[in-house]
Amino acid sequence: MIEELDNSNKIFPNKIPIFPLSGVVMFPNTYLPLNIFETRYINMFNHALTSEHKLIGMVQPFSEQTKKGQIKLYDIGCAGRIIKFEETEDNRFLITLKGISRFNLISDKTNTHNFKIAEVNWNKFHEDLKQTNNHSSHETLKGILKKYFHLKKIKVDMSIIDKCNDYNLADQLTMICPLTSEEKQMLLETHSLTKRNQLLLSIIEISNRELDTSDVIKH
């Protein structure tokens, strides 16, 4: 069974394999490299690769489990299409997903191959399929990032960030910055790119103030 997504002639399945991974989010029009080595996720990869759409849904689990000891997943994730893969000599797969669209998670079930298949709905994220111009300036964001990495004592080649596509810089930074799982999920669930840029800016500014205060207390 498939459902049609708005009027853009994009058709996506309403059931996709999902990869629950804490601290990892993906956004539309970004690229996520994955190292697949567990048997169940190799099965998941093979399932997705042989499907029509080649989609894998990335979704974060909550830190706590349910009363029955099961993993509880967030309601919103993002699906990516397999665009590249390589098998290593030690039977791992190095794959790259291109983010396509976020989705609402309706339900999930572990199948006989021990990976999860989820029922999803795409309707709230029509705009993910349309790359619209973002006129926000990222100079302020890049400036506070330099301070953020300095305070975190993280060595970063800022020239790489300078080369990032300004269109969705906030999304790319959310994926690579050492934010909490909750902060990453909050950004993922923020609909517009402009608002995600503003939210990321606020999160990093708050972190910088806290790190500055902590550094003053130590001295």
How does pLDDT run across 95-151, given as a tens digit for each residue? 999 999 999 999 999 999 999 999 999 999 988 987 665 556 678 888 888 888 888
In the numeric block, the tokens 């790190």 are attached to 211
User: What is the 3-class SS of the chain, one letter each residue?
Assistant: CEEEECCCCEEEECEEEEEECCCCCCCCCCEEEEEECCHHHHHHHHHHHCCCCCEEEEECEEEEECCCCCEEECCEEEEEEEEEEEECCCCCEEEEEEEEEEEEEEEEEECCCCCEEEEEECHHHHHHHCCCCCCCCCHHHHHHHHHHHHHCCCCCCHHHHHCCCHHHHHHHHHHHCCCCHHHHHHHHCCCCHHHHHHHHHHHHHHHHHHHHHHHHHHC
Radius of gyration of the chain (CA): 19
Distance, in Å, from the CA atom of 47 to the CA atom of 107, rounded to the nearest integer, reads: 19
219 CB neighbour count, 10 Å cutoff: 4
> What's the pTM value of the predicted model, to 2 decimals?
0.85
Q: Report the candidate in 148, 199, 169 with the shortest Cα–Cα distance to residue 27.
A: 169
By DSSP bridging, strand 15-20 and strand 55-59 are: parallel
Per-residue pLDDT at 7: 38
Per-residue pLDDT at 165: 65
Domain edges within the chain = 2-129, 139-218
- Convert 162-183 to b/e letters by CB count within 10 Å (16 or more is b): eebebbbbbbbbbbebebebeb
Per-residue pLDDT at 8: 45
Per-residue pLDDT at 137: 62
Topology, domain 2-129: 2.30.130
> Which pLDDT tens digits describe the chain residue by residue (219 residues)?
334 444 344 679 999 999 999 999 999 999 999 999 999 999 999 999 999 999 999 999 997 665 566 789 999 999 999 999 999 999 999 999 999 999 999 999 999 999 999 999 999 998 898 766 555 667 888 888 888 888 888 888 877 777 776 778 899 999 999 999 999 999 999 999 889 999 999 999 999 998 877 655 554
Per-residue pLDDT at 46: 96
Per-residue pLDDT at 9: 44
Per-residue pLDDT at 134: 59
Is the Cα dihedral 35, 72, 182, 76 positive or negative? positive
